[in-house]
Amino acid sequence: MASLKLQNISKRYGATQVIADLSLDVAEGEFVVFLGPSGCGKTSLLRMVAGLEEASGGRILIGGRDVTQAPPGQRNLAMVFQHYALYPHMSVRDNLAFGLRNIGVKEVEIARRIAEAGRMLELDALLERKPTQLSGGQRQRVAIGRAVVKEPGIFLFDEPLSNLDAALRGRTRLELAQLHRRLGATMVFVTHDQIEAMTLATRIVVMKGGAIEQVAAPAELYRRPATRFVAGFIGTPGMGFVPVQRAADEEGFAVLALPGGGRLRTRVPAVGLPAGALSLGLRPETLHPAVDGAIQGSVEMVEFLGERTLAHLKLADGSALIVSLNGVRPEVGESIGVAVDVNEAHLFDESGRAHHALEPSA
């Protein structure tokens, strides 16, 4: 395994700049996921690491070695693509062996690596089959196996699960997580699917418009997002936002005037909180029905999801909020009150920067 260091990376396509001055360190053995909407630059960044695209500026170091100008074959990498790219006329065994034979690895060593990868990925019974005789999930395991047998310093994954159905994606996520634990390898994974990111990553790099919004462990991203974009992007559904006014400060904490006339004393320290418009950020599961709740709204839609029910509320100022309900199923058009868990309430200023509630003392 190897470390990865990106120093002031930029990428331009003609006059269009898609990545500007991006820096990131990935430690040996990490599973880092680049996450963001389409067009945010995550795939371009991965392809520059792989050597499939040239960086317009900056340096790429793998294992401490500058590989910015090195061809892909000299970067000690293995890449798994969205499309399996298997040779249809070759058996699984020959697909796994092809790249190793091209670089002159001895047949005894090739056999050892294939046997180990076959056991690890449960491909043993499939080694003599052709790709057309395999399911989509089996083909993806072969594509991953082709990377494993190279024994690279870093594994790169470019949305490898997007062609699988929902059930198969879940199983393959588990297999990838288990593979990372067994190999202890450095893995860099690109996706727009936050479930993949949250379940696989040791750290997630959230990207927007060619820049990094936040780098953090999944739990930290969810509980303490650095920006409004991250807060809204992470979570299913994402965090809801209510325009508020700062009414006063009490005992060092901000007190807010809410739509409809309610007031909420937050746990967000008043010190350092800028003047101007604010947004109150609330996740559905931190809100609870309460007749005298600080927030009042009208039910616009109800989603029954089995394990929970989501109520979509319209507030007095027209803003929307989603509440997660357990055992309660209001009617559309009904007015309900909602209480707020102030330990999980966040404020966002006009720049989108987050101001979090003070952590409760133990």
What is the average pLDDT score of the chain?
91
Q: How confident is the model at residue 169 (pLDDT cuts 50, 70, 90)?
A: confident
Sign of CA dihedral 311, 233, 354, 225: positive
Sign of the alpha-carbon torsion through 115, 63, 23, 29: positive
Show the DSSP H helices in 204-333 as ranges: 218-223, 228-233
Does residue 164 carry a pLDDT above 80? Answer: no
- Residues 224 and 55: their CA atoms lie apart, in Å, by 32
The mean pLDDT value for 111-117 works out to 91
Asked if the peptide bond before residue 289 counts as cis, ω within 30 degrees of 0, the response is no
Q: Which residues contact 34 (CB under 8 A, 6 or more apart)?
A: 42, 45, 46, 188, 189, 190, 191, 205, 207
- CA 355 – CA 256 distance, rounded (Å): 14
Query: Helix (H) and strand (E) counts for the chain?
Result: 8, 21
- Confidence check: pLDDT of 306 > 90: no
- The matching CATH number, chosen from 3.40.50.1370, 3.40.50.300, 3.10.180.10, 3.30.1490.20, for 4-225 is 3.40.50.300
Percent of the chain's residues with pLDDT above 90: 64
**Distance separating alpha carbons of residues 171 and 184, to the nearest angstrom:** 20
**Lowest-confidence pick of 13-22, 47-56, 185-194, 353-362:** 353-362
Run of H or E including 136: helix 136-148
Condensed to tens digits (0 to 9), the pLDDT of residues 198-215 reads: 999 999 999 999 999 999
Mean pLDDT across 128-151: 89
Nearest C-alpha neighbor of 353 from the set 196, 172, 226, 255: 226
At 306, list the tokens: 């089995």
Q: What does the pLDDT look like over 272-294, one tens digit per residue?
A: 898 778 999 999 999 988 888 88
What digits encode the pLDDT tens for the residues 236-249? 888 999 999 988 88
Domain regions of the chain by residue span: 4-225, 233-355
Tally Cβ neighbours within 10 Å of residue 196.
Answer: 24
- Predicted local distance difference test score (pLDDT) of residue 182: 85
Question: What local confidence, expressed as pLDDT, does residue 89 receive?
Answer: 93
How many CA within 13 A on the CB side of residue 232? 16
In degrees to the nearest 10, what's the CA dihedral of 135, 136, 141, 142?
70
Do domains 4-225 and 233-355 share one topology? The answer is no
93 close to 127: Cβ distance less than 8 angstroms: yes
- Of the pLDDT bands very low, low, confident and very high (cuts 50, 70, 90), residue 197 is very high
For residue 163, pLDDT over 80 is answered with no
Q: Name the CATH topology of 233-355.
A: OB fold (Dihydrolipoamide Acetyltransferase, E2P) (2.40.50)
Pairwise CA distance, residues 299 & 277, whole Å: 26
pLDDT at 361: 63
Q: State the pTM of this model.
A: 0.90
Question: For 18-27, 133-142, 199-208, which range has the lowest pLDDT when averaged over its residues?
Answer: 133-142
The radius of gyration computed from the CA coordinates of the chain, to the nearest angstrom, equals 24
pLDDT of amino acid 166: 78
**Percent of the chain predicted with pLDDT > 70:** 99
The pLDDT, as a whole number, for residue 290 is: 87
Average pLDDT (325-350) is 89
What was the pLDDT predicted at 188?
96
**The pLDDT of residue 362:** 45
Asked whether residue 84 carries a pLDDT value surpassing 50, the answer given is: yes
Give kind and range of the element (H or E) at residue 263.
Answer: strand 263-269
3-state secondary structure of 122: coil
